[in-house]
Structure 1
């Protein structure tokens, strides 16, 4: 009985998150109430508060369903890097491959694409949901930290000195990739996101002083 109750609670939580995704995308975050979400999910307002403290907490949980898998790409690549005796070029390839895997998921997984569209196009940072901005900053800082680590490792192993600090270089790469993602979300037919990401990263890394051979594209799976 306890197991069934736990499964039912998880099912309700997922229905609430699914409804939040749908309503946030169609109506916008600020115009969607917790009551709207509960009604769409066939649940009570009390059920919403059982699982989430407020709208910002629900928004964060919705984001985590897609950002945690994306972050795992960096974890996997970092594990591979630490387990091998890489040169600077190979260390840089791990960072690049993690980003390419993330871009591939954005292109091929509708839920990831939907949530990113909400996060970039459907959010207004109003007083009542100001913590959502904190969530955005946390996600951004996590990316910056991981890319900085990759650049530091590549510089150290390749005995290179970057022309600017590694954190600033990471911010530049973030701006590049984030800009490509946002432009692609506006018009997915305009260009191939994965190919554009790979080509522009190659140019960016060359600009930082790396001249790597183009590594094989990472193993990707159909969604």
Structure 2
């Protein structure tokens, strides 16, 4: 019997949900598609009908669970946006709030932080590195838009600013995941994000030359 489009989409979502669960618990490298098929109650053929391999599934999970923030993200990248930092702020505050109250989104962030830190396999895989670079380029666009609009000083180092955002947000999320009973990540999201944005203005480019006396210290 031929499946309807709705049934096919339901199967795809079920595979993504089970894939997300296993990826977040044990990492992508340690998870086989056969594990996902078994736990989700599907055949391997059903998995391959929807996804070429587990990294294709990884990409689909990231895209699907990031979708609620795409409009804000795209707006902050637009040359026409008058308040790129404001849009970035809304995105980060919304992301932190969603982590606390949406278990699936929380798993997605756990999965990505695990993979992008390299703690699962000792190094970052090419698909994750490519996704990290994609996100980095988007953050750079936001920062440069903010500089153009006068929201950030022209003297800051955009590259350093991009990675500072990632480091601070990932670190904050990781700390909360370790001891979520200590504080509410959503209740403190506004103050934290304001601190991140304020920190960007202090970043300066690495000087072309360093004083010889300093080098001897």
TM-score (norm 1): 0.72
Classify the secondary structure of the residue corresponding to 1:207.
Answer: coil
Aligned position for 2:15: 16
> 1:72 and 1:148 mapped to 2: Cα distance?
17
Aligned position for 2:42: 43
> 2:77 and 2:58 mapped to 1: Cα distance?
28
Aligned position for 1:151: 143
Q: CA deviation at 1:28?
A: 4.1
Q: Classify 1:97/1:187 alpha carbon distance in 2 versus 1 (closer, same or farther; 3 Å).
A: same
Q: Which runs of 5+ in 1 are unaligned?
A: 210-223
> 1:203 and 1:135 mapped to 2: Cα distance?
32
Aligned position for 1:198: 193
Q: Classify 1:167/1:5 alpha carbon distance in 2 versus 1 (closer, same or farther; 3 Å).
A: same
Classify the secondary structure of the residue corresponding to 1:82.
Answer: coil
1:16-40 deviation per Cα after TM superposition (whole angstroms, max 9, x unaligned):
1122223334444333322221122
Aligned position for 2:173: 181
After the TM superposition, which of the residue ranges 103-112 and 139-148 deviates more from structure 2? 139-148
Correspondence for 1:112 among 95, 105, 109: 105
Q: What number of residue pairs does the alignment pair up?
A: 198
The equivalences for 1:55-94 within 5 A come to: 55-78=54-77, 82=80, 86=82, 90-94=83-87
CA contact (8 A) 2:161 2:200 kept: no
Q: CA deviation at 1:160?
A: 6.4
Q: Classify 1:149/1:47 alpha carbon distance in 2 versus 1 (closer, same or farther; 3 Å).
A: same
Q: Classify 1:28/1:158 alpha carbon distance in 2 versus 1 (closer, same or farther; 3 Å).
A: closer
TM-score (norm 2): 0.74
Classify the secondary structure of the residue corresponding to 2:29.
Answer: coil
Aligned position for 1:138: 130
> 2:150 and 2:144 mapped to 1: Cα distance?
10
Question: Pairwise CA RMSD of aligned residues?
Answer: 3.0
